[in-house]
Amino acid sequence: MKKYFYAPILAVLFLLLINSCQKQTDNDPTPIIPKSTKDSVPVAKAPADTTISLPVNSVVLTGSGTDATGHIIGYLWTQVSGPSEATIVNESSATASFKGLIAGTYKFQLAVIDDNGLTGLASVSVIVKQATMVTLTLQPANNPGESNIGIWNGADWTNHTSVEEPISAWTKDSFPTVIRNLLKFDLSTIPANATIVSASLQLYSDTIPQNGDLIHANYGTDNSVIIQQVATSWDVTSLTWFNQPAGLTANQVTIPSTTQPFLNVSVDVKALIASMVSSGANYGFKLQLKNEVEYTSRIFCSSYYSDATRHPKLVVQYMK
């Protein structure tokens, strides 16, 4: 544990020197007479002890000083102890910033100097707690924040409770169809100021597909899928192809194309989740084929699928 003793002494001497120069000039030959020993020592007042939690690693402290027989001419903040040396900004002011803190307990000292050359001291402790890592796993059944949005032969073909997410471009009765998917998870337990460490969206191929060629979940030359953050609020009860919300291109991710007929995927959606949490605008994910060319599909199980272990899953790790 480091201790810091010399800075306060030097600062006090410097301030006293300035004060002495201010009291006697070339035009004032009156000799300086020492102050009475009855001069009172100034009283320093530090703020109350405080506690912060990482990843927050800085704190602002404001102290004050009073003197019954004079006035305060200077302040000085110094570090007395701690697990590391903090960076102190504006140490010669009543209000100073303390940065670069790590887990542990710090003690900082405030010195107040009066015009009589006397100093008062006060100290404050800052406790820095280690960040708490939280893992949130979401895999709801019958998720009300999930819906297909589709079009068939120019008409709405949306299904709010489909057992699968048939992200596809196909034909039905010789007429073209396109199906996309909206998927929203409840992130309300994650604090807005949390640091998202990781986030993965896990999707499971439907091995008995009810769309596409009815045999393969994955089909087509390029069946890559883009995942975007939904831009605006939407209501599943009134959702159609024609009023579907737009997706944001910022932070979008891609599920690569595959030639495998079935393939479960785990997609890194950290940036998307971080944006949803920090902005407070969680409208979910929008999934669609990168190229909506006929006879292309990526069919995943939905939250309405009979096997709960194959429902869409979101795993988020964050620090609070």
Convert the pLDDT of each residue in 77-90 to its tens digit. 999 999 999 999 99
Task: Report yes or no on whether pTM surpasses 0.75.
Answer: no
**Distance separating alpha carbons of residues 156 and 178, to the nearest angstrom:** 10
User: Tokens 């009300």 belong to which residue?
Assistant: 144
Alpha carbon 107 to chain centroid, angstroms: 28
Tokens read off for 293: 């060319």
Which residues, at least 6 apart from 4, have a Cβ–Cβ distance to it below 8 Å? 78, 79, 80
pLDDT tens digits, one per residue of 160-203: 999 999 999 999 999 999 999 999 999 999 999 899 999 999 99
Phi, psi of 229 (to 5 degrees): -80, 130
135/304 Cα distance (integer angstroms): 24
DSSP assigned state of 15? H
Residue 241 is classified by DSSP as G
Residues whose CB is less than 8 angstroms from the CB of residue 135 and which lie 6 or more positions away in sequence, other chains included: 315, 316, 317
Q: How confident is the model at residue 5 (pLDDT cuts 50, 70, 90)?
A: very low
